[in-house]
A and B are shown apart, each in its own frame.
Chain A
Amino acid sequence: MAERETMEYSIQAKGLTKDYGAKRAVENLNLEIANGELFALLGINGAGKTTSIKMLSGLTQPTAGEAQLLGDSMTNEPARAKAHNGISPQETAVARNLTVLENLAFMARIYGANAQTADKKANDIAAQLGLREVGKAKAKTLSGGMQRRLSIGMALISEPKILFLDEPTLGLDVIARRELWAVVRGLKGRVTILLTTHYLEEVEALSDRVGIMARGKLTAIGTVQELMTKTGAKNFEDAFIALATDTEEIA
């Protein structure tokens, strides 16, 4: 166990490849994300981001290669590997007729907490994410921003060491988005986060490193500044466009 705690990388992808019939969605993805790092995975629609997240989080089996979370193989030890992660899917996935606190406690129990501990954890997370005032409200009555916040809370309740955030601010207004950024910033350093998003300002504001995918391949990796320097672009948007249309895989 001590060995796992001191492991340098939380997420490792080793030659991950996924085929859907004749179509190759992701090709030979090699990636290492350090403990506590916030890594943003970018790419235009269909670039392979969601498929990559699904393979890394154990939602789909790779055609080839292997994903490891804290050293546990998603192929050989899926239950152990899955116990490390929390996921907030692209759509707001909450139980609509359950209250905020019931949703949180439910997820805690799914990950093994007894009823008493689950209730305590639910109250703690609700306080941490500013959900205490709506704790007894049914999820379906919340605004889009609050539902998304609850969705992230449900991913955090099991105290995961790794968090997958698939387009967490999609469709939110600017205020709700900034509030969620504050929540994510509060997690940085404590939790390893893999984030996908289409909002480049979100990447600039939050991420430690960025990976850019194009046509199923990882074409660039580095900090925002490194990617701008690499492409000679004046801003990150220009750098992204240059790299997102490049299909040359990084060495």
Chain B
Amino acid sequence: MNAMTAFSGRNTKEMLRDPLNLAFGLGFPVVLLLLLTAIQRNIPVNLFQLERLTPGIAVFGLSFISLFSATLISKDRTTSFLMRLFASPMRASDYILGYTLPLIPMALAQALLCYLVAGLLGMQLTANVLLAILVSLPAAALFIGIGLLCGSVFNDKQVGGICGALLTNLSAWLSGTWFDLDLVGGAFKKIAYALPFAHAVDAGRAAMSGEFAAIMPHLWWVIGYAAVALVAAVLVFRKKMLRDNG
């Protein structure tokens, strides 16, 4: 327990002390929210309504959690930092929890900041906001799992490409945040709804609009994907742990 707590504390500091992490994780989603709200004020159609936009931006912001965690793990692997720890009495669960736990409050803080900024921009802050933040937890778990998985498999340069470019774009375009997926329809919409990102955004929107019955059908998709990503991450990390030192 002591080792896990120490490791999780170290991981928190490593991530929070990287200015790029703060800029992208907290700054970028807020800038997008400000920018799109400014655009909305100058166009006649209702394209970026805050109640619909904010859950999307919150999910998009969470995709950076994958980048933080994957970068940290891959650097720990390639710099022999993990090798030093593997020679210590730490157990496999200490590693997994030590990497995972610090990301949960970070994800919550990120979502909270998005909704607070939306509140400052004029969105009504009701109890539904708290529900929407709660509903974003499975999406946070999904992105944490993807981060652990990518960090265990790829080096830090590959992680930059895969989590920094590919994943953020996938979660942006296939989530329905920027445009209504019904407008595109067809195969694009089918692919989007076969993946978890659009479901995560729709669950958040349902929470915000008070359509509580519509939350769980979407959330199950996200929970399913998150469970698969986390289990795969744990299995791959343990396998790589043996192989990197074998």
Contacts and interface: CB of A to CB of B under 8 A. Distances in A.
A110 interface: yes
B18 A59 contact: no
Interface string B72-105: 0001000111011111111000000000000000
A87 interface: yes
Nearest to A87: B87
Interface residues of A, number: 39
Given A93-B83, A109-B3, A60 B245 contact: yes
A128 interface: no
A114 to B, nearest CB: 7
A82 B14 contact: no
A61 B246 contact: yes
B32 interface: no
Interface in B1-21: 2-3, 5-7, 9-10, 13-14, 17-18
Interface in B37-92: 75, 79-81, 83-90
B87 A57 contact: yes
A220 interface: no
B83 to A, nearest CB: 5
Given A54-B245, A89-B83, A111 B89 contact: yes
A59 B79 contact: no
What bracket does the count of chain B residues touching chain A fall in? 20 to 34
Interface of B: 2-3, 5-7, 9-10, 13-14, 17-18, 75, 79-81, 83-90, 245-246
Given A91-B79, A93-B79, A97-B17, A58 B87 contact: yes
Contacts of B83: 59, 87, 89, 93
A169 to B, nearest CB: 16
Given A59-B245, A91-B79, A102-B13, A112 B84 contact: no
A90 B84 CA distance: 10
Interface in A57-115: 57-61, 79, 82-83, 85-98, 102, 106-107, 109-114
A154 interface: yes
A193 to B, nearest CB: 15
A173 to B, nearest CB: 21
A85 B87 contact: yes
Nearest to A118: B6
Q: Which of A20, A97, A138 is the most central at the interface, judged by chain B CB atoms within 10 Å of its CB?
A: A97
B80 A106 contact: no
7 contacts: A59-B86, A83-B89, A87-B84, A107-B88, A110-B7, A110-B89, A111-B89
Given A90-B80, A91-B79, A106 B14 contact: no
B89 to A, nearest CB: 5
Contact of B6 (A61, A82, A94, A109): A109
Contacts of A112: 2-3, 89
Nearest to A112: B2
Contacts of A88: 84
Contact of B13 (A57, A86, A98, A164): A98
A59 B6 contact: no
**Closest 4 A-B residue pairs measured CB to CB?**
A109-B6, A89-B80, A93-B80, A97-B17
